[in-house]
Structure 1
């Protein structure tokens, strides 16, 4: 099973009818989503402990995506088929790169335009 993930800079393409089957990952409150979560702040230790350190090697978004997938498989919360990541325009390339480079994210999600 693969879930869809969309990285957007604007929510205008997500009418209320589509939101009920999607999880929104954003720092602003919006209505009508199956679930809404915020990303955790970056770890203050990120990239200072060295390669392989569990708190430095995974991005907060990777951990969040893993938890969402596990919740979906286990039936925790409302069912959903899509994760919508709301990011700033200048953050989009970095977020897309991280999603494409994370092996577990690629195995569990397919990027949608």
Structure 2
């Protein structure tokens, strides 16, 4: 299930609460981001044991910037990031965000 987050406080809570989770930075106006969101949504529906969150860049710019700055990951939109134990393990952007890529990241980074 996808859950939207909007604040730095919510994100900081996820870093503490969740052992592993995905975050999608999503643009509400970009067709590429829409396609990535659909792939992310498919992944979330098929892998409900994996926590999946997203932020809308237009609604949550401070949060989007905080993620980029805190973890030194160049901001892109759309962008999917896999976090584990409070640290990013993997990220992809644009057309590289696919259901298969998310599954592969989860499997490869869990070994």
TM-score, length-normalised on structure 1?
0.33
Bigger share in strand: 2
Higher relative contact order, structure no. (Cα contacts within 8 Å, ≥ 6 residues apart): 1
